[in-house]
Structure 1
Amino acid sequence: LKKLIRFVKYWQNESIQNSPSSFALELLVIRLWRHDGSPLHFKLTNALKKLMETIAVPNNIRVEFVGEFYDREFQQRYAAPYIIDPVNPYSNEAAKCRWNEISQAANTFLQKPWMISAISKFV
């Protein structure tokens, strides 16, 4: 998981000019990893494909960590995309991102030959 997050940070810094903090993407990676069962071992290319496909359609991004550090009663509702900080439920990290630019970069990344054969799952 650590390698994937490092790669995503590198990709973001190289692909997106004046990129915002990578915290939102880190939270998204963790959420996707948990959604696929938190596997200890997975192919980096497969995980990247899942992440890039998710980023490519930002209006489908809805990440909240209810029950982690706060109760549902403190949860705020946001329009998608939203990535709620697990420690501060009043902070929508996705609002700090330029999703048009990020989704364009993700679509470009998905065109790489080695992405085409990857499976969109943490396996």
Structure 2
Amino acid sequence: MRNSKNVLLSLVITIALGLFSTLALAEGGLPDVENVCAKLKESSAALASGASNDAVSDLAKQAIGLTKDIIVSDKVTIKRTKATNGIKAAVAALKKDDKKAAGDLLKQATEDFEGLKKYL
């Protein structure tokens, strides 16, 4: 009897933890992806309006920081990493004063993050 109580308690705790982690993953992705997209659009707009490279770079780095909040499955994490690498490449292009390449990379990264929404 005592063993069956322990087994039952362990089973209930395991199920509760499994449900909690599944719910946390299900709700965590979409708002965070939308925040990253908004920050990327802000960076692109700043670049188009003639803002300094440092200002645009700071906005892009803020977007990179926001990507760390996206907690999703492994498949989506791979796509998120690819899109984040595009933002990092845009920051590198800004350091080289290549605004056209930076603009193209920011646009591509925005499209990549918009594409992540269909997986969430």
TM-score normalised per structure 2:
0.26
- Determine which structure has the larger helix proportion and give its number: 2
Which one has a bigger Cα radius of gyration? 2
Superposition TM-score, scaled by structure 1 size: 0.26
